[in-house]
Each structure stands twice: as structure tokens, then as C-alpha cells.
Amino acid sequence: MKKMLLAITTLMMGCPAFAATASSSIPMGIDVPKSCTFFDVSTGIIVPEDGSEATGNFKMSCNTGYSVYFTTNSSIASGTGSYVKSAQGTQIPTTTSVTLWGLQSVITSSWTYIDGPPVYIGPQSGNFKVKLNSPTTATTPAGIYTDTLNMTVTY
């Protein structure tokens, strides 16, 4: 009997009993939507009468690839360049340029910057400059002359 008990004990120690197990996996994730925004955009620019340059600034941030289109109301209307215009319709030609990613381009009708792979993801700073092509003179009709810079990002 002792031998049989010893044999059973030896078998039990040599062959451990295993409990049944079950497992499962639950996938986890998040869907971050594409996003682009402009911020810290200059609220207005006073164009100097003497033909010197005025500068405005903007910042933008995207979390995906994008294209940015810059136009002015006058460049869209004329198709050949920009100008400031009075309420009476008098136009004074201007040169308007935009700098983004270290690249400066003059807006002639509309200008496009295209961002390829995610090189420019995150905050970017840019500026725009405008100046009269020629200073105003005593024969320039008095009035308030305006134009608008438009920035559109497609992503």
C-alpha cells in the first residue's frame, strides 16, 4: 500500500494538473480627424502712401498634408495683379506677396503653395507684404482705398 501511495504521489508530482484557460483581445484605437487652422492673423494693414512696404503676419497649423491658396479680391477681379480701390472705383496698383515655408511669391492672379508628404505638419509662420507700385501724389484722388487678402487651406 505504501508503494502504491508513493507511486501515485510520484505520478502527481511529475504530471502537474493544468486549469482550463480562456483569453480574448480587444482592439483599441482612436480616429483623429484631419484638421487645419489659421491663428494669430493680422487684423489689418495700413499701406504707406510713400510706396514703402507694410507687413502682416499669420500662423497656421495642420495635422495632415495640405494646399494653401492665396489671392486678393483685386487679383481675382483683374486676373493680372493686385490693387487697392476706392469707393469711387479709382484703383492704385500694388505689389502683394506672401511668404510661407521660407518661399516668397508675388500674388498676380492667384498663387498656390502645395504641401507634399507631411513635411510641414504642425505650426507654420508666414507673412504677407503689400506696397503701392508708385507713391501717391497730389493728383491721386482722396479717399479710402482697400483690398483683401484671402487665405484658403485645402486638406
Domains with residue ranges and CATH for the chain: 36-134+146-154 (2.60.40)
Strand ordering across the sheet containing 67-72: 111-114, 67-72, 149-154
Q: How far apart are CA 13 and CA 10, in angstroms?
A: 5
Q: How far apart are CA 89 and CA 146, in angstroms?
A: 11
Task: Provide the pLDDT for residue 81.
Answer: 82
pLDDT in tens, the chain (155 residues): 565 555 555 555 555 566 899 999 999 999 999 999 999 999 999 999 999 999 999 999 999 888 888 889 998 877 778 999 999 999 999 999 999 888 888 888 766 666 555 567 889 999 999 999 999 999 999 999 999 999 999 88
Q: What is the dihedral of CA 97, 100, 103, 109, to 10 degrees?
A: -40
Task: Provide the pLDDT for residue 155.
Answer: 87
Helix boundaries (H) for the chain: 2-14, 73-78
What pTM did the predictor assign? 0.75
